[in-house]
Amino acid sequence: MKIALVSPYSWTYPGGVTRHVEALADELLARGHEVRVLAPYDGPGRAAGVFHRGAVPEERPAPDYLISLGGTLGLPMNGAQSNLAITPFAVATARRELRTGGYDVVHVHEPIAPIVAWDAIASTAAPLVATYHVYSENAFAHGIARLLGVGRLMNHLHGRIAVSEAAAWTARRFFGGHYRIVPNGVHLPEADDLPAPEEDATELRIAFVGQAVERKGLPVLLRAFEALREHIPARLEIVGATDEEVAPLLLDARDVTVLGKVSDERKQRALAEAHVLCAPSLGGESFGMVLTESFAAGTPVVASDIAGYRDVVRDGVDGLLVPRGDATELAEALRDLWLEPERRAAMAAAARERARRAPGGCRRRSRPPPEDARAALCCPCCDGRAWLWPRSSGWCWACWHCSGSGWGTSARRCCRPARRGSWWAWA
């Protein structure tokens, strides 16, 4: 089968989506399929940093299956920097390839990201599958996307996938539809590749993997670590952020090692050598691939108690969940793991076993979204829009998402009583 994987994110500024696409392409190729990845590619050199707030692309060789969509522009989105191709060259290249490539299936990743993914959905007659990776409560940004017609574009899709319950909730809330949860996969290293457990550790080794952006919560971890090291022997290793980005956040760099941007092999070694991975993100995380990578390395996790991370971490079993943004609670959780080595070892074993046994990654249902976000009324036969009669009747008309029924062709009971004065609501 000939498959096209479309990604809006730069191949040389790899994040979770890019790593997901790369792993999927390698697996499909190993199974005998013909695969092409349509993604932007920023060339080496510091010149690209002008368009990415000084961030320099990684020197990654382009695989044979990659069709470059040109350079990208770093845009602030969802609390981080997204490196997207928004040029006419990118749109024209993707459109030409999809129309002439003879693909049996087109798989679009992050279909709500502008503008390559939008055009890809509209440009091909092949069966379309989309994977939603993002978790967001930003009604304004998604409302703009709907005004631009993205909601109607999603009706072209033949299948919808979400990497977590949090991502599915976001997609349903703003675009309707039905979603199959397929968690991100993770590579399991051989047991021989993992370091042997230490009998008598002399210090708590903590790893952080991520960008130095507000969403990732690195300042929270640094405040917690500065207090922690006054009470127990500890060392912090930071992967992904550079010295220039970390230095303004630190008063005292003692026992802090900044590795910067490193290869996947070096990152995996840092995770395997750590006693615990700390993920103090403040929000906007739909899954957190670094959590499952840590589990695969046999390293437990201390993470923020946020949507997305709750889908992965079993609190008290293979990791700990702490209130987001609370440096004191974070420091206390790390201290407790140091003082209880048996508990830490049990969590490490549980993390490794969870990564090994969970197909495609780690998964469990997250807690429901906040009440104010779940309060919307919906038609019981779909996840799209529903027009409501006043409270006295409690009926709604099936919306146009429902098997082509059209507006007002059938009346059904609402799944919840209508609020007084409510005439319509978004699912």
Query: What are the tens digits of pLDDT across the range 225-246?
Result: 999 999 999 999 999 998 999 9
Q: What's the pLDDT at 194?
A: 65
Instruction: State the DSSP code for 207.
Output: E
Domain identity same for 133 and 215: no
Mean pLDDT across 111-129 = 93
Question: Other CB atoms closer than 10 Å to residue 251's CB: what's the count?
Answer: 8
Q: How confident is the model at residue 328 (pLDDT cuts 50, 70, 90)?
A: very high
SS3 404: coil
What CATH code is carried by the domain that includes residue 141?
3.40.50.2000
Q: What's the pLDDT at 404?
A: 35
Domain identity same for 67 and 120: yes
User: In whole angstroms, what is the distance from residue 111 CA to residue 128 CA?
Assistant: 11
Task: Decide which of 129, 153, 181 is a domain's last residue.
Answer: 181
User: In whole angstroms, what is the distance from residue 156 CA to residue 176 CA?
Assistant: 13
SS3 401: coil
Domain identity same for 240 and 280: yes
Question: Using one digit for the tens of pLDDT, what is the confidence trace for 184-210?
Answer: 877 777 665 666 566 678 999 999 999
Higher pLDDT, residue 419 or 323: 323
Q: What's the pLDDT at 395?
A: 32
Cα-Cα-Cα-Cα torsion 283, 288, 290, 293, nearest 10 degrees, comes to 150
Q: Is the pLDDT of residue 107 over 60?
A: yes
> Please, are residues 283 and 313 in contact by the beta-carbon 8 Å criterion?
no
Range of the domain at 352: 191-357
Q: What's the total number of domains in the chain?
A: 3
Q: What's the pLDDT at 361?
A: 43
Q: Is the pLDDT of residue 157 over 80?
A: yes
Percent residues over pLDDT 70 in the chain: 80
User: In whole angstroms, what is the distance from residue 307 CA to residue 408 CA?
Assistant: 36
Domain identity same for 173 and 209: no
Q: Name the average pLDDT for the chain.
A: 82
Task: Decide which of 133, 151, 181 is a domain's last residue.
Answer: 181
User: In whole angstroms, what is the distance from residue 195 CA to residue 327 CA?
Assistant: 30
> Please, are residues 183 and 363 in contact by the beta-carbon 8 Å criterion?
yes
Q: Is the Cα torsion angle 260, 266, 267, 272 positive or negative in sign?
A: negative
Exposure on the CB side of residue 346, measured as CA atoms within 13 A: 10
Domain identity same for 69 and 212: no
Domain identity same for 344 and 386: no
Q: How confident is the model at residue 357 (pLDDT cuts 50, 70, 90)?
A: confident
Question: Using one digit for the tens of pLDDT, what is the confidence trace for 38-69?
Answer: 999 998 876 676 777 767 788 888 999 999 99
Domain identity same for 102 and 170: yes
Domain identity same for 127 and 15: yes
Mean pLDDT across 288-305 = 93
What is the distance in angstroms between the CA of the first residue and the CA of the last residue of the chain? 36
Q: How confident is the model at residue 415 (pLDDT cuts 50, 70, 90)?
A: very low
SS3 38: strand
